[in-house]
Amino acid sequence: MAVRKLRPITPGQRHKIVNTFDEVSSAKPEKSLVAGKSKSGGRNNTGKMTMRYIGGGHKKKYRDIDFKRDKEGIPGIVKSIEYDPNRTARIALVFYKDGEKRYILAPNGLVVGQEIMAGKGANPDVGNSLYLSEIPLGTVIHNVELKPNQGAKMARSAGAYAQLTAKDGAYVVVKLPSGETRLILSTCKATIGAVSNSEHMLERSGKAGRSRWLGRRPRVRGVVMNPVDHPMGGGEGRNSGQHPRSRKGLPAKGYKTRAKKKSSSKYIIEGRKK
C-alpha cells in the first residue's frame, strides 16, 4: 500500500496525491454479496431538502461485509483483496471450506491465499477473529465489538486499530484510536491486526470535482452567511467576532456534546485526548 504524487500537467493534478491500489487484486465484486444502493440527495420522502450539501456522485453498489465473524471453527481462504467505494478500508473476499463466501475488512498484511479462522482456539494471527479473553495482552486489534454477537462497531476505518492493554475479571481494557481507554466484556470479539489502507490519510483530491464524484456538494461557511441564516453571519467585511457555533446555535470547536448521564460512561476509564 502506497500513495503517488502526480506531475502537475494540469491544475487539478498539481496537488493530487492518490492511492496506487497495489494490494487490490480484483476489479469486479462477488455478485452474490452485492446489493443496490439508493441515494436520497439529502431529500426526505416529500422531496424537501433536509440535509444540505448532499447530491450527485457516482453510482455505488453495497458490499455486504461480515462484521460478526460468526463462522467459528471453519477455515477460510482469502481469494481477493478488493476496493470498496462505501468505506476507506480495503475488503477481502473469503471462501470458506463449507462453500460459503463472505467479505471481511482486510487488515494490513493479509494476502491472497492466506487461511483465516474465527472463534475459540484460533491463533492470534493477522485476520483471525478471537474472543477478547483469548487475545494476548498488547495485541493490536480492530473490528471490536461493544456487545457480544452485536457485530464490530469500533476501529473499522482505514489504518485504525485499538490495543488490548489489560484484563480485569469479566472485562478487558482496550485503548481506542481516539486515546480513550475503556472496559469491554471479554466475551466480545475482535480481529487481529490494524485495518488496511493506512495511507488513506495522505491522499489529496486535487480538485473540487472529485468531491462531487463522492456526492458532496459545495459547503458554505457560516461566517459568510447573513445574520438571518447563521449565528456567525453578518458584519462588514471579514467580521467574525462571535464564538464558533453551529447553525442551530450549539457551541462548536471544543464544546463537549456527550450526554452527561449516558449509561455507557461507567465503562470509560480515561476520556479521549483533546
Per-residue pLDDT of 74-111, as tens digits, reads: 999 999 999 999 999 999 999 999 999 999 999 999 99
Cα 102–Cα 106–Cα 108 angle in degrees, nearest 5: 160
CA distances from 81 to 7, 113, 195, 200, 228 (A): 28, 10, 13, 16, 50
pLDDT at residue 32, as a whole number = 97
pLDDT at residue 274, as a whole number = 64
| Nearest to 111, CA basis, from 18, 28, 193, 31 | 193
pLDDT at residue 256, as a whole number = 86
| Residue showing cell 465484486 | 29
**With a cut of 50, which residues of the chain have pLDDT below it?**
none
pLDDT at residue 1, as a whole number = 62
Task: Look up the pTM and report it.
Answer: 0.91
Angstrom distance (rounded) from CA 16 to CA 35: 32
- What phi and psi, each to the nearest 5 degrees, are found at residue 11? -60, -35
Domain boundaries along the sequence of the chain: 24-201, 225-266
Q: Burial code of 133-154, b = ≥16 C-beta within 10 A, e = fewer?
A: eebeeebbbbbbbeeeeeebeb
pLDDT at residue 25, as a whole number = 92
CATH class of the domain defined by 24-201: mainly beta
